[in-house]
Structure 1
Amino acid sequence: MAVPTVSVIVAAYNAMPYLTRCITSVADQSIGQDKLEIIVVNDGSTDGTAAELERLSDAYPALMRVIHQENSGGPSVPRNRGLDHARGQFVFFLDADDYLGPEALERMVAMAEENGTDVVLGKMVGVGGRGAPTSMFRRDQPKTDVFSSRVYWTLNPMKLFRRELLERHHLRFPTDLKIGEDQMFVGPAYLHASGISVLASYDCLYWVQRDDDGNITLQTGGSEPRLRFLPRIVDVILENVPAGPGRDHLAHRHLTVEVQQLLGHVAREPRELQQKQLDRLADAIAPLWHEGLNDQLSAMARLRLHLVRHRMLDEVLELTRFEKQLAKSKVATPVLVDGGRAYARYPFLRDPARSVPDSCYDVTDQLGLRHQVTRAELHGTTLRLAGYGYLHRVATEDVTTDLVLRERDSGTEYRLPVRHTATPGLGAHEDEGAYTYEEAGFETTVDIDTAAGGAPLGDGLWDISLAVGAQGLSREVRIGSKRALDVSGTADTRVVDTTLGIRAVTLYTTKPHGNFTLDLGEKKNRVLPHLKFRESRWNASNPNELLITGRWTLGAYPDGPLTLALSNDSGATVAFPVARTAHGDTFTARVPVLDLPAGTWTGELRLSGWSFALPKIPQDLEASKWRRRGLPWYAKSASGSGGRFALLVAKTDLVKAVAGKLKA
């Protein structure tokens, strides 16, 4: 019997009517049924699940295997039993409520095989109002690990696992836990995996919110089951990950997600139980939390952990109520600005009876920075910028906003003053108008001839930032990603006359972030591609004049320096001015061949210090003919010139011409 590529394991309990779509989504996978097996364990269902499984088994006899058992009380036993029967190179755990995208398994297997990874996370999509994790699915990650990505923030088992990994480490779901059994399985799998892949560019798993809210993972059970599993997952981390940044990265998830959820359950329990559960929680997290972690945590998480560590039950309950109300509110918490720092006005801020450190409230580095560019234009040697920038929840008083130019490679930096402008009504669209920012606007002109402290800016990529300041606070942000609809992000390349001579200047937006950068000296944006030739032909009204036409897409360049230069094989040179349309983007060079000496002429278009090779003259272009001192002359495309411009000017050989006519 052929070994399947993927064994899909489904634990089913009272799964109707969702079960049918779940199984069908697997059977219809693009990877093909010959590479699949479906193992469904019916965990003592009391609805129509058993009957539907038999019907589906008859429909897919070579694909599907059904195992019936008494109810076990949770997903661990049926998942383990399915895993014991699996034969595939990979296994995928699928809840009976959910379903797969048509190409999910094929794409995930390909990613695992191409990158030699043991676990693949496929993008999850919430259905019916169910929230799905998102932070780890910002982009595809062919090969990562649990420490340098956000994969640890999703510990559900709906992923592709290499079965050899699971068997080598004897990984199974613990059967004595009602909650957290998935973390005890997925966490070690992550830690032992040779690599983890993230497939974010395709919707792999549809995570369904059941109409009856009967999803196993949504059922609660109070604080007790959570306090049973939390110390165990902490032990997994302590046993497998040495102290340091890696352990802190994993601890972050449990010190925020699990602690917050657990305290929500403690708050709903009888008073006589609350202190006991809080003490157990404090003991459980003590090995993970240390002061060095605080910089990675939000102010709310720092405050929450401080109260838990000091077992301050009344304060914990009050903070939990505050968080619950805050989640419902559309207004962000006000801040206190003091000494160049911002502190969220969470409960007990500077309350002498509680003595909670200010560091638990410090949100300076987490303040939202709102900004927009409303003008970004190059004019000669100057860049004109306008827009606004403000710190969320900080009134625009004592504004100190500056523009910052920073050369990307060298780090050279120049700060330029801006003119502060009024922005009446700004902020009214958020926080129900609780905060307004009346002086958040800015206008400035950057002259590349003087922006370097009175001297010209050197060649380089000058990233443009705004140092937004108010009330002694200052935060810096790259600008351009947020811009008005009439502000273009298209690269604008110009050739300008500066104190250092003719220079190329480009204002462009970076990819993928869309922030403005000033390119001086063609570091990324070249001038040459902005002049394109269209054709070479004889002038219809003057058949002895060669017209070379083209189009230029430069934003601007100085008057006069665009010329056509020709030279022949005898060393003679000539130059012709190039005419540009007054208000258009085309140019025309005129070459009067009557005046050219004999020889093969090559040439280029010149713009100050740049040169552009002329295109080849079409071979089928008829020769231009004229008489000079009574003798016949001609000009035509020179043969054997490859793809380069070559014009042959010569006197007609009368003997050959007569011989040719006689043969004809």
Structure 2
Amino acid sequence: MLSSENDPSGTAAAGSPEGTPVKVSVVVPVYNPGAAMDELIASLLRQSMPAGEWEAVFVDDGSTDGSGDRLDRLAAQHPGYIRVEHIPNSGWPSRPRNIGIDLARGEYVQFADHDDWLGDEALLRMYAYGRENGADVVVGKMAGRGRNVPRELFRRDRPDAKLSKDPLIDSLTPHKMFRREFLLEHGLRFPEGKRRLEDHVFVTAAYFAAKRVSVLSDYVCYFHVALTDASNAGLKRFDPAGYFGNLREALDIVDAHTDPGALRDRLHRRWLRVEMLGRLTSAKHLAAPEEWRRAFFHEVRSVLVERFAPGVAAGMPAAQRAMVSLVEQDRFDAVRELALWESGVRAKATARVTGPSQITVEGELTTAGGAPMTFMAVDGKDVLAPPVDGIPPAALDVTSRVKSARMDIVARRRGGGGEEFFLPGETTVTRVPTPDGGFRLRHRTVAGLAPDTLNSGRNAGRWELKARIASCGWQKDTELAVSLTIATDGAPPVLRKGSGTPLMTRLKRRARRLAGGKR
């Protein structure tokens, strides 16, 4: 256990070479993780940053499964840079994280959950990137294993990311690196108690307070994991009224730092898209008891009507604008009907190897039963045609989205933690007439590879390839019957016909999608 002899404001780690400054403190709230903590501990001990330049501060939130004793033994084996603090159970990660901030000795604080893990070079790369750019906040590329993580944010490095122009607001989990003096200067702490969206409140406030936020995208720094028993605290069913009360707190921070207008609408849109419509239309939500779904719907409608200006929904894709219209009309059953229709939207694609390091892919979106997704041209506008009536025509306009439709080719490491990288490529989109006077969109992408394209050259192994179609507001993946093998880090990639993913893995992923655990 940490004692009063430890100086939280010090810069040198006990047990490390004399005078060695602590560059990064990894703060980990811990509660009954069992074996789920193994990967995190192993990843910390593999860090390329020399021991003593980093430390891990585990804050045991009253664990009853023996994890506290295990951490004490770990600290005894690694004195000076593995530290443990035991506290009475608080019931939520906020208090352990706040205590970790106070105890940290590093220049930067990196938050990690006990069931996630870090890339081997994460601390070294993120710290160097933060120092190079003078960043208060460093957002390292994330990969999800059974969890959704931001995608567009990590399309490229962003040394000076801005809320006004970059998709920063898509990343509101706390698994980032924060300059400790910045946290102290602005009094940034997690709201404590058993509540939801405490990380949204903390991270949103940090974004507004930071002079610079830097996004590192060329190396996977953080692996975000969903446990198979869904025991993560954030995944359990919640009280809708309490949840949306907490959501309003995050909106209050945005409103305090912005004027009414485009920027506020853009930021508000994130909560409408993810926490409201995203949950309202998920498979897990649709399978929940009707009484709970009605209570959730009521809270969504209340926030929508009370807090969001018309420009929030106006900037969303057609299917989401249509959903907003139905919520505003208080049409509970129609929302469910539209959500069920949307759940049938898929991507379909075929691939050909057209060169030693080149792949050509053709694909399109489909609806339930595999029929191509079709659109209609009405009065010079391209419109969506869902099987639900009473939706204003303006809400169904997809003209601008049709023009910006694309298909990316994505490589995902097989057997890893979900690392994904976009392959450089060019997409062409063709309008194909349909017998009913409408049209469908066919996408063709030619993508190439280079040895350092994936994970900054740390890429040995087998990779599966996916087509990701972004069209008219949907973003759908489908696996391709082509695999990618790289013999050693940085070696030329070899493309082969045949999926890189075993059948059982594909079946398990499909089961998770149907259960709502992964979209």
Query: What does the per-residue CA deviation read over 1:25-79, in whole Å, with 9 as the maximum and x for residues that have no partner?
Result: 2233222222222111112223242232122111111112112233322211211
What is the rounded CA distance, in whole Å, between the counterparts of 1:106 and 1:74 in structure 2? 29
Indicate conservation of the 8 Å contact 2:241/2:299, yes or no. Answer: no
Q: 1:318 aligns with which of 312, 321, 337?
A: 337
Aligned to 2:188: 171
Query: What does the per-residue CA deviation read over 1:571-614, in whole Å, with 9 as the maximum and x for residues that have no partner?
Result: xxxxxxxxxxxxxxxxxxxxxxxxxxxxxxxxxxxxxxxxxxxx
Q: Give 1:482 deviation, angstroms.
A: 4.1
Aligned to 2:247: 230
What is the rounded CA distance, in whole Å, between the counterparts of 2:371 and 2:241 in structure 1? 34
What is the rounded CA distance, in whole Å, between the counterparts of 2:335 and 2:405 in structure 1? 32
Aligned to 1:104: 122
1:239 aligns with 2:279: no
1:254 aligns with 2:268: no
What is the rounded CA distance, in whole Å, between the counterparts of 1:57 and 1:138 in structure 2? 38
Q: 1:284 aligns with which of 278, 303, 308?
A: 303
Secondary structure of 2:184's match? Answer: helix
1:395 aligns with 2:437: no
Indicate conservation of the 8 Å contact 1:94/1:158, yes or no. Answer: yes
| Bigger Cα displacement from structure 2, 172-181 vs 199-208 | 172-181
Aligned to 2:236: 219
Indicate conservation of the 8 Å contact 1:39/1:66, yes or no. Answer: yes
Which amino acid counterpart does residue 72 of structure 1 have in structure 2? Answer: S
What is the rounded CA distance, in whole Å, between the counterparts of 2:279 and 2:134 in structure 1? 37
1:124 aligns with 2:142: yes
Aligned to 2:198: 181
What is the rounded CA distance, in whole Å, between the counterparts of 2:97 and 2:67 in structure 1? 17
Secondary structure of 1:156's match? Answer: coil
Aligned to 1:206: 223
Unaligned runs of 5+ in 1: 373-386, 400-434, 441-476, 486-664
Which amino acid counterpart does residue 360 of structure 1 have in structure 2? Answer: A
Aligned to 1:52: 70
Alignment of 1:399-548 (within 5 A): 482=445
Aligned to 1:345: 385
Distance 1:217 1:280, change over 3 A: closer
Indicate conservation of the 8 Å contact 2:431/2:440, yes or no. Answer: no
Once superposed, what is the RMSD of the aligned Cα atoms?
3.2
What is the rounded CA distance, in whole Å, between the counterparts of 1:332 and 1:170 in structure 2? 53
Q: Give 1:88 deviation, angstroms.
A: 1.8
Q: 2:37 aligns with which of 19, 24, 34?
A: 19
Alignment of 1:66-81 (within 5 A): 66-81=84-99
Aligned to 1:358: 393
| Bigger Cα displacement from structure 2, 152-161 vs 325-334 | 325-334
Secondary structure of 1:111's match? Answer: helix
Q: Give 1:210 deviation, angstroms.
A: 2.4
Q: Give 1:272 deviation, angstroms.
A: 5.5
What is the rounded CA distance, in whole Å, between the counterparts of 2:292 and 2:217 in structure 1? 43
What is the rounded CA distance, in whole Å, between the counterparts of 2:236 and 2:94 in structure 1? 15
Distance 1:395 1:269, change over 3 A: closer
Secondary structure of 2:160's match? Answer: strand
Q: Give 1:332 deviation, angstroms.
A: 5.4
Which amino acid counterpart does residue 62 of structure 2 have in structure 1? Answer: G
Q: 1:299 aligns with which of 305, 318, 326?
A: 318
Distance 1:483 1:135, change over 3 A: closer
Higher strand share: 1
Distance 1:272 1:96, change over 3 A: closer
Unaligned runs of 5+ in 2: 1-9, 13-20, 347-366, 408-426, 449-519
Q: Give 1:368 deviation, angstroms.
A: 7.0
What is the rounded CA distance, in whole Å, between the counterparts of 2:141 and 2:30 in structure 1? 22
Which amino acid counterpart does residue 243 of structure 2 have in structure 1? Answer: R
Query: What does the per-residue CA deviation read over 1:621-640, in whole Å, with 9 as the maximum and x for residues that have no partner?
Result: xxxxxxxxxxxxxxxxxxxx
Q: Give 1:271 deviation, angstroms.
A: 5.0
What is the rounded CA distance, in whole Å, between the counterparts of 1:202 and 1:261 in structure 2? 28
| Bigger Cα displacement from structure 2, 65-74 vs 144-153 | 65-74
Secondary structure of 1:91's match? Answer: strand
Q: Give 1:234 deviation, angstroms.
A: 1.3
Indicate conservation of the 8 Å contact 1:8/1:92, yes or no. Answer: yes
Secondary structure of 1:297's match? Answer: coil
Which amino acid counterpart does residue 204 of structure 1 have in structure 2? Answer: C
TM-score (norm 1): 0.53
Distance 1:331 1:365, change over 3 A: farther
Query: What does the per-residue CA deviation read over 1:300-325, in whole Å, with 9 as the maximum and x for residues that have no partner?
Result: 11112222233332322333333334
Which amino acid counterpart does residue 23 of structure 2 have in structure 1? Answer: T
Identity of aligned residues (%): 34
What is the rounded CA distance, in whole Å, between the counterparts of 1:118 and 1:221 in structure 2? 33
Higher helix share: 2
Q: Give 1:104 deviation, angstroms.
A: 1.0
Secondary structure of 1:179's match? Answer: coil
Over 6 Å off, 4+ runs:
368-372, 396-399
Number of residue pairs matched?
Answer: 388
What is the rounded CA distance, in whole Å, between the counterparts of 2:40 and 2:224 in structure 1? 11
1:194 aligns with 2:211: yes
Greater C-alpha Rg: 1
Distance 1:287 1:223, change over 3 A: closer
Aligned to 1:614: none
TM-score (norm 2): 0.67
Q: Give 1:346 deviation, angstroms.
A: 1.8
| Bigger Cα displacement from structure 2, 49-58 vs 145-154 | 49-58
Q: 2:177 aligns with which of 137, 153, 160?
A: 160
What is the rounded CA distance, in whole Å, between the counterparts of 1:307 and 1:12 in structure 2? 42
Distance 1:278 1:126, change over 3 A: closer
What is the rounded CA distance, in whole Å, between the counterparts of 2:127 and 2:211 in structure 1? 15
| Bigger Cα displacement from structure 2, 334-343 vs 6-15 | 334-343
With a CA cutoff of 8 Å and minimum separation of 6, indicate the structure with the bigger relative contact order. 2
Aligned to 1:89: 107
